[in-house]
Amino acid sequence: MVLPVDLQSVVDEMDVISDEWIAYINRETGDLFSFSDDELLIHESNEDGETDNDWRAETIAKAQEVLESEYFIELPGRFEIDEYSIMQRYCHGVAGSRVQEALIQAIKGSGAFGRFKDLIHREGIAEDWYTFRDTALRKIAADFLEAEEIPYVDDKSRD
């Protein structure tokens, strides 16, 4: 990738981040790279770099390059993204007291994400939620890139 980086590409990388998946951006080139904890563990436990397939060996070598480079920085992770907070803001912004109250109740306690997803599909507002979520992720990505002084383009804002 070449700078300026495409904002949607950064959002797409952030969208797969989890406890087991980490994503990085090269502040000089805009290159994005992500890898799993499994690949990191294989790299750490197998210092000679041998793996059972070429693809994994390439991924592990690239992960090592990323981790040792001063140019690659980690993208916002799940704690910075805080999807539960995004969900809460969405629930409180939904018009209609019945649906809003149902959403607020759905996100309380264990199993909140599953109940929330079931309810937005049942109420026919899933597309609205995904648009809201995408906007929130785009803002987090843009704020991150600006803070790191990484130039970006936002083709979606031109639609």
Q: What is the pLDDT of residues 50-59, one digit of tens each?
A: 555 666 778 7
CA distance to 15, 135, 140, per residue, from 86 (Å): 13, 10, 11
Q: How much is the pTM?
A: 0.83
**Are the C-beta atoms of 154 and 137 separated by less than 8 Å?**
no
- Read off the pLDDT of residues 97-131 as tens digits, 9 standing for 90 and up: 899 999 999 999 999 999 999 999 999 999 999 99
DSSP secondary structure code for residue 153 in this structure: E
Domain spans of the chain, in order of start: 5-77+151-158, 79-134
Strand partners for 33: 24
Residue 157 pLDDT greater than 90, yes or no: no
CB atoms under 10 Å from CB of 151, counted, come to 10
Dihedral, 112, 89, 100, 159 alpha carbons, nearest 10: -110
